[in-house]
Structure 1
Amino acid sequence: MIVVFGSINIDLIGHAPTLMRPGETVLGSKLELTPGGKGANQALAASRAGAEVRMVGCVGSDDFATQALSLLRETGMDLSGVRRMDRHTGTALIIVDASGENMITVLPGANSRLTVTALQRAGIEANDWLLLQLETPLDGVIAAARLARDQGAKIMLNVAPFMDFDPALLATIDVLVVNETELAGVLGMFDAPALSDRDGVVWLAEKLEIAVVATLGARGSMAADHGAVVSVDALAITPVDTVGAGDTFVGYLAAGLSEGLALKAAMERASVAAGLACLERGAQPSIPERGAVEALLVARQ
């Protein structure tokens, strides 16, 4: 079982030829409304990858709540850990340009009410995986990691969106997942020397004594774990929309590790899934099903 403790949002996505600069108005072309939130995105990705998933999070008492949960509900995942609160459902305002790059502002709403109490009520057991992000209050994330550790569960942390946090959180986890910006941020927390991405991943893995996985966009992904370093190529694609690709990678990675795949094999599947997600619009609608990912993996061999 993968237990996802995290955010549930509705995404308002505007499409424009370019991303705006401060004070600039850009005329766009289309507005879309889709389910999102890093927690929910990663839960859906893990579920579409074939894992048994329980979502723990908060939504509002508004109409957005039903829409935000719609695709999660379609998978049949356990939503008993999702609570309705007296605030608006978390909302992400997203602008995507013609090249697929994006800018995002998140209004947390009900997500700001998520505490470890929700995880205590939902339950987590030994041999489960707890999947965490930083889009909900840090106190709750830290307490959830401690609770999961006490129960004997494995813990994966995706430090997104990056912000300053108590480094003690990293002492409770098994797998750290970062992108290039987040990698630099975590290295900065430890006053690490100037390092390449590869050396930075190795440095962190050795310092923290955990597996560190970095996604590097078109350069693929790499990881270091107890002295072993692995690299995986990205799909050669022209992206349509990169929103949700990172969450797709994380959810698929968690699913692979939870079913016993070796780290490199789990990364290979996650990389293909993330690449396919870039070929469709929207965070959750773009997440591919396991069958499509495995078919492409076979074709690449």
Structure 2
Amino acid sequence: MPAKVVVVGSLNMDLVTRAPRLPRGGETLIGQSFATVSGGKGANQAVAAARLGAQVAMVGCVGSDAYGRELREALLAEQIDCQALSTVEGSSGVALIVVDDHSQNAIVIVAGANGALTPPVVDQFDAVLQAADVLICQLEVPYDTVGHVLRRGRELGKTVILNPAPASGALPVDWYGSIDYLIPNESEAAALSGLPVESLETAKAAASQLIAMGAGKVIITLGAEGSLFANGQGFQHFPAPRVTAVDTTAAGDTFVGGFAAALAGGSNEVEAIRFGQVAAALSVTRAGAQPSIPRLSDVQGFSAP
């Protein structure tokens, strides 16, 4: 069987509109299109890992509304194990997304059912965590739950990945010792480290700070500039494959899911990072969150221009 990746995190219905540019405060723009697309960082990473070769289980909560049914069906269609996906009364999580003509986006998230993913709910599905090879968390569910899962992952001896998104400040200090791979983007690395991340050199300083704070290894994703890997002994920069971007939504989630799938499948860190980068590069050439995530055959057939 393929390696087992378990994702504990969020599921959102993405309400996506395209406009010439992002609106300013108090401004109304005429949009060009609108779509509802299954998303949420947790679900996106689960779909990415599944499409890219891993056996995947999802631990999370959806609402009792129509969006909740659609979010569950989207995961089931990817052959993702949903035994630990609970339905709670009320609305599912939603994300309001505006994408401009330069493929940049602005996002507002409403947690909805994601807020119901508490430590006791996760504990009901401890057998799912025990079956994992790699465990992934993000920050779109309650912090108490994230900390609980990180600690449980460490107790079980799993490879633990934290994608600290969306992060607006420092993480609890006691989390770091449970994290094998901390994977922030530039703004998240800056928020966590308290240092600016505006170049490769400043990214190195932030990564060093995060390792000093206790993270095992750090991968800072740098968008079109690729990614920076740090492990306490040094750094390695991985340039990004060159593609024409259409929509950057879910690129980071695709990298995390691809990295986890490759790592769980026996790839070393360098191979897993490069695999994740190709998957992320392919994702930005397509619109949407989950619809943009490539499959294993796409990555295997990719040839850089």
Give yes or no for TM over 0.5.
yes
Aligned residue number for residue 23 of structure 1? 26
The one-letter amino acid paired with 2:155 is D
The one-letter amino acid paired with 2:67 is F
1:256 partner SS: helix
* 2:155 corresponds to 1:153: no
The one-letter amino acid paired with 1:96 is V
Q: Check the 8 A contact 2:168/2:192 in 1, yes or no.
A: no
2:121 partner SS: helix
Aligned residue number for residue 274 of structure 1? 280
Q: Check the 8 A contact 1:11/1:33 in 2, yes or no.
A: yes
- 1:136 and 1:196 map into 2 onto residues whose CA distance is 29
1:118 partner SS: helix
Q: Identify which of 11, 16, 27 aligns with 2:14.
A: 11
Aligned residue number for residue 54 of structure 2? 51
The one-letter amino acid paired with 1:156 is I
Alignment of 1:1-301 (within 5 A): 1-122=4-125, 123=127, 124-125=129-130, 128-164=133-169, 165-188=171-194, 196-208=202-214, 210-296=216-302, 299-300=303-304
The one-letter amino acid paired with 1:11 is D
1:273 partner SS: helix
- The count of aligned residue pairs is 294
- 1:209 and 1:287 map into 2 onto residues whose CA distance is 28
Deviations 1:1-31 (A, max 9, x none): 1111000110000110010011111111110
1:178 partner SS: coil
The one-letter amino acid paired with 1:208 is G
| Post-superposition offset of 1:128 | 2.1
Q: Check the 8 A contact 1:127/1:152 in 2, yes or no.
A: no
- 1:25 and 1:255 map into 2 onto residues whose CA distance is 42
Q: Is there any run of 5+ residues in structure 1 with no aligned partner, and where?
A: 190-194
The one-letter amino acid paired with 1:105 is V
- 1:162 and 1:206 map into 2 onto residues whose CA distance is 19
- 2:88 and 2:132 map into 1 onto residues whose CA distance is 30
The one-letter amino acid paired with 2:113 is A
Aligned residue number for residue 198 of structure 2? none
Runs of 4 or more, structure 1, over 6 Å off, are none
- 2:90 and 2:187 map into 1 onto residues whose CA distance is 31
| Post-superposition offset of 1:199 | 2.8
| Post-superposition offset of 1:155 | 0.8
- 2:151 and 2:206 map into 1 onto residues whose CA distance is 26
| Post-superposition offset of 1:206 | 4.5
The one-letter amino acid paired with 2:120 is T
| Post-superposition offset of 1:231 | 1.7
The one-letter amino acid paired with 2:207 is V
Q: Is there any run of 5+ residues in structure 2 with no aligned partner, and where?
A: 196-200
Q: Could you state the TM-score of these two structures normalised by the residue count of structure 1?
A: 0.93
Q: Check the 8 A contact 1:206/1:227 in 2, yes or no.
A: no
Q: Quick one: structure 1 residues 237 and 134, their matched pair in 2 at CA, closer, same or farther if it must change by over 3 Å?
A: same
Cα root mean square deviation, aligned: 1.6
Q: Quick one: structure 1 residues 126 and 226, their matched pair in 2 at CA, closer, same or farther if it must change by over 3 Å?
A: farther
- 1:200 and 1:248 map into 2 onto residues whose CA distance is 23
| Post-superposition offset of 1:118 | 3.1
